[in-house]
A and B are shown apart, each in its own frame.
Chain A
Amino acid sequence: MSGINLGTNGGTTVKNCQVRTVGGTGIIAQNVFDSEVTDCGSDGISCVVGSRNYAESISGGAVVGVVIRDSWGKSKTGIGISGQCALNCWGESVSGHGIRVCQAQNCLGKSESSFGLYATDTAIGCVGESQTHTGLRAKVACDCRGLSVNGTGLVATSVHGCYGESINGGVGVEAEIASFCIGSRVNGCAIASLIGVGCYATAGTNHVTYRYNMP
């Protein structure tokens, strides 16, 4: 059951449509542009390419696609924005990930109890915020910010030029290699890494095994 179901093959396009109160998926199409889905029981928008969309869902992913740009997704228990690539997106969730993609650029992900932003590959210029979980997690993070109240601010294999802050529970920045990063954790560990280059803490102490050009 769905609002608009054209399938994700064959060049189907939905543009400038509004869908409200759908028990299933709001819109299914290969391309979805300039559309809005609210009050949706399953996925809000499921597409291959999506741009300039807004979707809210309760239990499914708000915006699910391969390439998603300039979109806003908000879910209660699912993922706000999920797919392969996200550009200029905003994803929010209460219990799911705010954003979960392979590559994220210029995105903001927020979650109360899960990852704010989870990039399985690369995050560039992104922000991830979480109340109880990790703010931002990525394999490689560049120019990102990860913030968490009770979890770790930013976790990545390699981080460059990033800021990570934990208020209560975790570490500011946790990585194998951290370069030119700033960490913050009052009365705790600001940066935990194997290799650190040019990093410093605004609050807390650093636990870096091999330090280069840093206090």
Chain B
Amino acid sequence: MIVTNCVTLDLNGFTIASFSPKALDPAISINGGLGSITIKNGVIRGGVTNDGSGNFKGGGFASGIYYFPAAGPLIRLITFGYVRLELRGVF
């Protein structure tokens, strides 16, 4: 959980993963009203799969990145360069 302004979370190519049977919480949550937040360079991976017919099942994370709604200043979620922020299998 990010609870203050001006935070850069560089995952440095690492993966945040969860294969919990229930998808209850986000992988990264940001308190509402915060600003100048950058999350970059990594992978967030949950356990949700699609059976090919649009039926999504599995657990892991409820959201990859969740910003609690609140009126506030600018928030930026930006990845730079060729390294992307990837989210896979999020319910």
Given known A3-B90, A4-B87, A9-B71, contact A21–B78 (CB-CB < 8 A): no
Q: When chains A and B are docked, how far (Å) is the Cα of A21 from the Cα of B84? A: 16
- Nearest B residue to A37 by beta-carbon distance? B87
Residues of A within 8 A of B75 (CB): 6, 10-13
- 1/0 contact string of B58-73 vs chain A (CB within 8 Å): 0000111111011111
- Nearest A residue to B46 by beta-carbon distance? A21
Q: When chains A and B are docked, how far (Å) is the Cα of A6 from the Cα of B88? A: 17
A15 touches B79 (CB 8 A): yes
> Which of A14, A59, A76 is the one whose CB lies under 8 Å from B77?
A14
- 1/0 contact string of B26-56 vs chain A (CB within 8 Å): 0000100000000000000000111000101
Interface size on A, residues (CB 8 A): 29
Q: When chains A and B are docked, how far (Å) is the Cα of A90 from the Cα of B61? A: 32
A143 at the interface (CB under 8 A from B): no
Q: How large is the interface on B (under 10, 10 to 19, 20 to 34, 35 or more residues)?
A: 20 to 34
Residues of A within 8 A of B91 (CB): 1, 22-24
Which residues of A from 29 to 60 have beta carbons under 8 Å from B?
Answer: 29, 39, 41, 58-59
B67 touches A6 (CB 8 A): yes
B65 touches A6 (CB 8 A): yes
Given known A22-B90, A23-B91, contact A17–B50 (CB-CB < 8 A): no
- Nearest B residue to A41 by beta-carbon distance? B56
- Nearest A residue to B53 by beta-carbon distance? A58
Q: For residue B52, give the distance in angstroms from its CB to the closest CB of chain A.
A: 10
A150 at the interface (CB under 8 A from B): no
A5 touches B90 (CB 8 A): no
Q: When chains A and B are docked, how far (Å) is the Cα of A5 from the Cα of B65? A: 6
B89 touches A5 (CB 8 A): no
B73 touches A4 (CB 8 A): no
Interface centre among A4, A16, A20, A58 (most CB of B within 10 A): A4
A84 at the interface (CB under 8 A from B): no
Q: In the complex, given contacts A12-B77, A18-B86, A21-B89, what are 6 additional A-B residue pairs having Cβ atoms less than 8 angstroms apart?
A: A4-B63, A10-B70, A18-B87, A19-B86, A22-B56, A23-B56
Give residues in B with beta carbon < 8 Å to A: 23, 30, 48-50, 54, 56, 62-67, 69-80, 84-91
Q: List 29 A-B contacts (CB under 8 A).
A: A1-B23, A1-B63, A1-B90, A1-B91, A4-B63, A4-B65, A5-B67, A9-B69, A10-B72, A11-B75, A12-B67, A12-B76, A15-B76, A15-B78, A15-B79, A16-B78, A16-B79, A16-B80, A16-B84, A17-B77, A19-B86, A21-B49, A21-B50, A21-B89, A22-B56, A24-B63, A24-B91, A41-B50, A41-B54
10 shortest A-B CB distances, which residue pairs?
A23-B56, A6-B67, A58-B54, A11-B74, A3-B87, A15-B78, A19-B87, A3-B64, A4-B65, A18-B86
Give residues in A with beta carbon < 8 Å to B: 1-7, 9-24, 29, 39, 41, 58-59, 76
